[in-house]
């Protein structure tokens, strides 16, 4: 009976480890997820308004662009909705934007709004582009809008209203992508810990603290699997990884023997 229980425990641990490896490889494979579909629209009274070359805002070519053109505007504007393959959460949303050689400023973009959607349902998070969202590039006529949406989403609507009157040559949308947030995963077995996730681990410093806050292990990572410097009792620990660029990530891990 005891041997059967031990066998079941080993099988469970093996299955758990394989699931961890599968999740880890999937996480590492994740990278920028670019918009793959779009919908363009003119709303209100907006004469000679529209989106030129709308498909150029799709895919991973970050140098071609769609152009949102404003003509004679009376309480209207132009919008382009960019869709991603799947509904996701815990991602940074990045939208590449630009103008025709006109330096970008927050004031210039005071009539640009963005809103995320889940399917066809708006998340009611529409916001104007502000200094906290706008990241200027070395080329003053290009920038990115960057944010971490609070809700799950698979589309972003970019709306250009009549408040933007100085964008000669139109407002350019180069691309949009979802960037999965950095994650650390950890698995323990037989005095070894295996790490995974989306963080670059090579050369990172790893430490382990017990429930009392005492550090019980510290080492430099040379591979994703490392041995504990001394045996530790089973239980919950806090694992901390400090990467070579001095970013720190922590998570709980259960040590099993």
Predicted model pTM: 0.67
Residue 170 pLDDT > 70: yes
Residue, of 168 and 112, whose pLDDT is higher = 112
If one counts the domains in the chain, the total is 2
Residue 246 pLDDT > 90: no
pLDDT of residue 122: 97
Same domain, 174 and 62: yes
Same domain, 60 and 162: yes
Mean predicted confidence (pLDDT) in 247-253: 88
Same domain, 170 and 196: no
Residue 7 located in a structural domain: no
pLDDT of residue 163: 62
Q: How confident is the model at residue 38 (pLDDT cuts 50, 70, 90)?
A: very high
Same domain, 91 and 212: no
Residue 235's domain is classified under what CATH number? Answer: 2.60.40.3080
Average pLDDT value over all residues in the chain:
85
Q: What share of the chain in percent tops pLDDT 70? A: 85
Place of tokens 């971490």: 148
Place of tokens 């382009």: 80
pLDDT digits 0-9 by tens, 60-75: 999 999 999 988 777 8
Same domain, 192 and 138: no
pLDDT of residue 165: 54
Same domain, 66 and 152: yes
Same domain, 117 and 46: yes
pLDDT of residue 164: 61
Residue 101 located in a structural domain: yes
pLDDT digits 0-9 by tens, 107-164: 888 889 999 999 999 999 999 999 999 999 889 999 999 999 999 999 999 999 866 6
Same domain, 139 and 65: yes
Same domain, 169 and 236: no
Residue 17 located in a structural domain: no
Residue, of 31 and 35, whose pLDDT is higher = 35
Residue 174's domain is classified under what CATH number? Answer: 2.60.120.260
Residue 135 located in a structural domain: yes
Q: 243 is in which domain, residue-wise?
A: 182-255
pLDDT of residue 53: 98
């Amino acid at each position: 009976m005891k041997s059967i229980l031990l066998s079941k425990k080993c099988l469970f641990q093996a299955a758990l480890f394989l699931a961890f490896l599968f999740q880890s490889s999937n996480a590492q494979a994740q990278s920028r997820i670019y918009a793959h579909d779009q919908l363009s629209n003119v709303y209100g009274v907006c004469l000679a308004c529209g989106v030129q070359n709308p498909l150029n805002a799709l895919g991973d070519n970050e140098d071609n662009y769609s152009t949102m053109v404003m003509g004679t505007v009376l309480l209207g504007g132009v919008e382009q909705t960019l869709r991603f393959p799947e509904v996701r959460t815990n991602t940074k949303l990045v939208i590449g934007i630009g103008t025709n050689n006109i330096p970008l400023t927050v004031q210039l973009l005071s009539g640009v709004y963005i809103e995320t959607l889940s399917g066809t349902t708006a998340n009611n998070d529409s916001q104007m582009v502000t200094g906290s969202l706008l990241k200027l590039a070395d080329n003053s006529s290009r920038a990115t809008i960057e944010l971490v949406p609070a809700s799950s989403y698979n589309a972003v609507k970019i709306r250009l209203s009549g408040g933007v009157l100085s964008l000669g040559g139109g407002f350019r949308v180069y691309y949009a992508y979802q960037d999965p947030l950095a994650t650390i995963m950890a698995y323990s077995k037989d005095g070894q810990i295996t790490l995974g996730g989306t963080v670059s681990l090579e050369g990172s410093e790893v430490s382990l603290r017990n429930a009392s806050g005492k550090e019980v292990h510290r080492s430099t990572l040379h591979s994703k699997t490392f041995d504990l410097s001394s045996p530790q009792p089973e239980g919950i620990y806090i694992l901390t990884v400090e990467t070579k660029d001095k970013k720190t990530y922590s998570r709980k891990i259960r040590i099993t023997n």
